[in-house]
A and B are shown apart, each in its own frame.
Chain A
């Protein structure tokens, strides 16, 4: 019994494992297991480890309660009620059956452990994703785009130039920071308030207080509105036109 002090609960995978170990340790045939002895041994052990992690211990306590129940039945004088005469025997049978079933499984776990160890020695690579297929432009999940990107860039550059000259002129520090979301809202409000359905991108930029940061935010806002299908962007001669598709709050 001394050795049980050195046994760690964490060495067992559960209360059945511990029970099995105790039976094996006593070198007794499971068919001859004295449940009274086994219960006492188990309870004694559980008492010692009670201060352990309650999460783990709780599983063992359920088994302890079960064993106490069996033990109580074993200790009560026989002639209680006729109907219950087989109860004790049934419980013993049930526990032994469970232990047997558990033992059968326990016996083959080494097979799985060995197979696992062997399997972990082989390395493989994830499935290769092959990207050869080119998607045709007309199959892209986007609306057809007729905006000349060079034109778009020119407007952007012109705006930057303007921005520079304006800053030079006024020579003030602007600290206003506006997010693209706010600008998007402003653009929508502007179009709705003035009851216009389209505006030139350049004019839209004119409306804004100039700074590089503001300019980038405005471009982002325009792209965001387009991606949400609130506005469409198309090119008309030398201008990029922003068209209000639908009104959102």
Chain B
């Protein structure tokens, strides 16, 4: 099987698996190979192909390091927004984003831990984030009552288009930096 044929198979596979994404393991299974370098080459060639092809409306998103998803090109979004099946209310609220950020940076963390930082009850937000599979349980804390710890999920990485938590901007940790952060720019 030549390289072009493999590209075609991978392109089709990305279409079939759609939103769920295609993992490196899926690719190995379908292409019947353990050669990750080869698979990387195929994926990179496909990404390049889509991005250079102005006549194509498709693109490939890489998330969680080794997962791939076929998506429509971002620049065409406005055209699809006319569709009734495009939901805009799916956006996360500021409170949800704050909560998610805390779990992403400070996780595994308990709900009480997040509430300490936010100064607000986060029960319903946790419920919603769990429903959307953006956070998930990550064992029990050793604290009194052994509350559940939470961490962000792979869907979180997909949603925010991140390869790993290393992609997050660094938080300002040192006091010297903090001393001026409360001043207006």
Instruction: Tell whether A27 is near chain B: CB-to-CB under 8 Å.
Output: yes
Instruction: Tell whether A48 is near chain B: CB-to-CB under 8 Å.
Output: no
- If the complex has contacts A30-B178, A103-B181, A104-B172, are A126 and B119 also in contact, measured as CB distance less than 8 A? no
Q: Shortest Cβ distance from B173 into chain A, in angstroms?
A: 8
Q: Shortest Cβ distance from B125 into chain A, in angstroms?
A: 10
- If the complex has contacts A103-B182, A106-B98, A109-B97, are A124 and B70 also in contact, measured as CB distance less than 8 A? yes
Whether B19 lies near A124 (C-beta < 8 A) is yes
CA distance A8 to B125 in the complex (A): 21
Kindly identify which residue among A28, A109, A121 contacts B101, using a CB–CB cutoff of 8 Å.
A109
User: Chain A contacts of B119 at CB under 8 A?
Assistant: 14-16, 59, 62-63, 98, 102
Whether B121 lies near A113 (C-beta < 8 A) is no
Q: Shortest Cβ distance from B20 into chain A, in angstroms?
A: 4
Q: Which of B80, B88, B182 has the most CB of A within 10 A?
A: B182
Q: Shortest Cβ distance from B12 into chain A, in angstroms?
A: 10
Whether B168 lies near A122 (C-beta < 8 A) is no
Kindly identify which residue among A116, A118, A125 contacts B97, using a CB–CB cutoff of 8 Å.
A116
User: Chain B contacts of A125 at CB under 8 A?
Assistant: 15, 18-19, 70
Whether B160 lies near A119 (C-beta < 8 A) is yes
Instruction: Tell whether B86 is near chain A: CB-to-CB under 8 Å.
Output: yes
Q: Which of A31, A104, A125 has the most CB of B within 10 A?
A: A104
Interface size range of chain B in the complex: 35 or more
- If the complex has contacts A101-B117, A127-B18, are A122 and B101 also in contact, measured as CB distance less than 8 A? no
User: Chain A contacts of B95 at CB under 8 A?
Assistant: 13-14
Whether B91 lies near A13 (C-beta < 8 A) is no
Q: Which of B15, B90, B92, B101 has the most CB of A within 10 A?
A: B101
Number of interface residues of A (CB under 8 A): 42
Interface residues of A in 76-132 (CB under 8 A from B): 98, 100-109, 111-113, 115-116, 118-128, 130
CA distance A51 to B120 in the complex (A): 19
Whether B162 lies near A108 (C-beta < 8 A) is no
User: Chain B contacts of A118 at CB under 8 A?
Assistant: 74, 161
Kindly identify which residue among B16, B100, B118 contacts A112, using a CB–CB cutoff of 8 Å.
B100
Whether B180 lies near A29 (C-beta < 8 A) is yes
Instruction: Tell whether A151 is near chain B: CB-to-CB under 8 Å.
Output: no
Whether A105 lies near B72 (C-beta < 8 A) is no
CA distance A14 to B115 in the complex (A): 10
Q: Which of A106, A112, A125 has the most CB of B within 10 A?
A: A112
CA distance A188 to B85 in the complex (A): 51
Interface residues of B in 143-185 (CB under 8 A from A): 159-162, 168-169, 171-173, 178-184
- Complex: chain A residue closest to B71, CB-CB: A122
Interface residues of B in 56-112 (CB under 8 A from A): 59, 61, 69-75, 77, 80, 86, 88, 90-95, 97-98, 100-102, 105
Q: Which residues of A contact B (CB under 8 A)?
A: 13-16, 23-24, 27-31, 59, 62-63, 98, 100-109, 111-113, 115-116, 118-128, 130
26 residue pairs from A and B, CB less than 8 Å apart? A13-B118, A23-B182, A24-B184, A29-B179, A30-B182, A59-B119, A102-B118, A104-B171, A104-B173, A105-B101, A105-B105, A107-B172, A108-B168, A109-B101, A118-B161, A119-B159, A121-B75, A122-B72, A122-B73, A123-B72, A124-B18, A124-B70, A124-B71, A125-B15, A128-B15, A130-B16
List 5 other contacts, CB 8 Å, given A59-B120, A112-B100, A122-B72.
A28-B182, A104-B172, A106-B98, A118-B161, A124-B70
